[in-house]
């Protein structure tokens, strides 16, 4: 996959647990866990916006593009 998810790094930087982020964002814990582990193929902009607002970051802090070899 060319898009790498860095949600786990942002959560660690902010010292926020998955449960805490789930409560603040209003997204099920299991869905955030899949997102954190890169097991999703899509993300809603509203979810991305809520995550960025909660973690006080930019989408580029969570999503990274890496060219496939």
Fold of 3-65: 434 Repressor (Amino-terminal Domain) (1.10.260)
For residues 60 and 27, give the distance between their C-alpha atoms in angstroms, rounded to a whole number. Answer: 20
Longest dimension (CA), the chain: 38
First to last CA, the chain: 10
User: Which range (6-10, 15-19, 40-44, 65-69) has the least confidence?
Assistant: 65-69
What are the tens digits of pLDDT across the range 23-44?
A: 999 999 999 999 998 899 899 9
For residues 66 and 23, give the distance between their C-alpha atoms in angstroms, rounded to a whole number. Answer: 31
Q: What pLDDT score does 67 carry?
A: 87
Mean pLDDT in the chain? 93
Q: What's the CA dihedral at 37, 66, 9, 24 to 10 degrees? A: -70
Calculate mean pLDDT across residues 13-17.
Answer: 96
- What is the reported pTM? 0.89
In degrees, rounded to 5, the angle at the alpha carbon of residue 19 between the alpha carbons of residues 16 and 24 is 75
């Amino acid at each position: 996959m060319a898009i790498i998810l860095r949600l786990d790094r942002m959560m660690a930087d902010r010292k926020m647990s998955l449960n805490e982020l789930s409560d603040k964002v209003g997204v099920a814990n299991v869905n955030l866990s899949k997102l954190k582990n890169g097991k999703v193929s899509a993300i809603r902009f509203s979810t991305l916006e809520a995550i960025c607002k909660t973690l006080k970051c930019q989408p580029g802090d969570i999503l990274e593009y890496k060219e496939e070899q």
